[in-house]
Amino acid sequence: MKRREFLKKGTIGSFGAAILLSNYKTIYPIIRKIPADNKYDLVAIKGGEPEVMFDKAIQSFGGMKKFVRPNQSVVIKPNIGWDVNPERAANTNPKLVSQIIKHCFDAGAKDVYVFDHTCDQWNKCYANSGIERAAKNAGAKVVTGNSESYFQEVKINKGVRLKSASVHELILQSDVFINVPVLKSHGSAQLTIGMKNMMGIVWDRGYWHRNDLHQCIADFTSFRKPDLTVVDAYWVMKQNGPRGVSVGDVLTMKSQIISTDIVAADAAAAKLFGVAPKEIGHIRLADEMKLGVMDLSKLSINRIIL
């Protein structure tokens, strides 16, 4: 298929769940006074189903119409990297993906695309994650990232170690980019959240692993930041990431974090996981590169418990 045609066409007590979930104010402090227009930097919500939490959280930003205008094209990038079912928490929750698509169309989007450059065989990942079905049922166009012909070389002008990358053309050509990672452990990066999820929009991920993974993740964040990052923390893989071994690795947290600042979203998600943001190399580096804000005390945060 030519590229232009393609565009047309269980609780784990040992993990300290009680500590992580019992004090939401400590995890997401509100230090700065909220502006009169209710403009928040970040929304942290817990206690509901994925679609219900997103409905409530996006209201804090004035609704999806703040991000998507009529007749615009939108690309949504979940984590679809692994050939496992949703309960394993290796991939983004399909209910959340579906609801974001619906909000985009309600805002007037002309086209909504969903894709990932998967780690396991792409068609099995798309099917068994539940995301392909959920996205198509919501009206999105589900496309692949399995062919190098879909990727275009770009320069990373602010990169320290990563000076260029081949990026999926949907990221380059769509009007709006929504990043929808799942929060989970990762053997190499310690955590995979929003910035790490961006590795699924490039072709050669191996280079990043061979050349200072954390710096490359931060470098690429300087290329194009998502318009919105929505962190899925409904089921959270606390160990054996990024693929996981079984549902025994998963903690049910029923949470979401939403921000226009991908660094802030990752920092908040790290705290939810129980890790100080500065302990995650790429979060600290992105903050030092002034690509976003790691210090949550500097943000206006709307904390919602359903």
Q: What is the CATH number of the domain that holds 85?
A: 3.40.50.11440
Q: Report the pLDDT averaged over residues 265-276.
A: 97
* pLDDT level of residue 78 (50, 70, 90 thresholds): very high
Domain count, the chain: 1
Cα(169)–Cα(94) distance, integer angstroms: 23
pLDDT at residue 277 tops 80: yes
3-class SS of residue 218 = helix
* pLDDT level of residue 13 (50, 70, 90 thresholds): very low
* Residue length of the chain: 306
Do 257 and 302 contact (CB within 8 A), yes or no? no
pLDDT at residue 131 tops 90: yes
DSSP H or E segment with residue 21: helix 17-22
Q: Report the pLDDT averaged over residues 264-291.
A: 97
Q: What does the buried/exposed string (b/e) look like for 34-69 if buried means 16 or more CB atoms within 10 Å of the residue's CB?
A: eeeeeebbbbbbbebebbbbbbbbbebbeebeebbe
pLDDT, residue 38, reads: 55
3-class SS of residue 44 = strand
Two tokens at 94? 């399909």
Question: Under 8 Å CB-to-CB from 235, ≥6 apart: which residues?
Answer: 86, 87, 88, 89, 93, 182, 250, 251, 252, 253
Q: Report the pLDDT averaged over residues 124-147.
A: 97
How many C-beta neighbours within 10 Å does residue 112 have?
A: 26
> pLDDT tens digits for 253-263?
999 999 999 99
**Which of 112, 101, 99, 108 is CA-nearest to residue 52?**
99
Do 176 and 73 contact (CB within 8 A), yes or no? yes
pLDDT at residue 14 tops 80: no
Q: One-letter amino acid identity for 26?
A: T
* Percent of the chain residues topping a pLDDT of 90: 86
* pLDDT level of residue 27 (50, 70, 90 thresholds): low
pLDDT, residue 39, reads: 81
pLDDT at residue 20 tops 70: no
pLDDT, residue 7, reads: 45
- Reported as half-sphere exposure (CB side, CA atoms, 13 A), residue 125 has a value of 23
pLDDT at residue 30 tops 70: no
Q: Report the pLDDT averaged over residues 34-47.
A: 78
pLDDT at residue 11 tops 50: no
Where do we find the tokens 């452990």?
A: 185
Give me the domain span that covers residue 115. 3-9+11-305
pLDDT at residue 21 tops 60: no
**Which of the pair, 218 or 31, is modelled with greater confidence?**
218
* pLDDT level of residue 111 (50, 70, 90 thresholds): very high
> pLDDT tens digits for 168-188?
999 999 999 999 999 999 999
Q: Report the pLDDT averaged over residues 121-134.
A: 97
* pLDDT level of residue 161 (50, 70, 90 thresholds): very high
Q: Across the chain, what does the average pLDDT equal?
A: 90
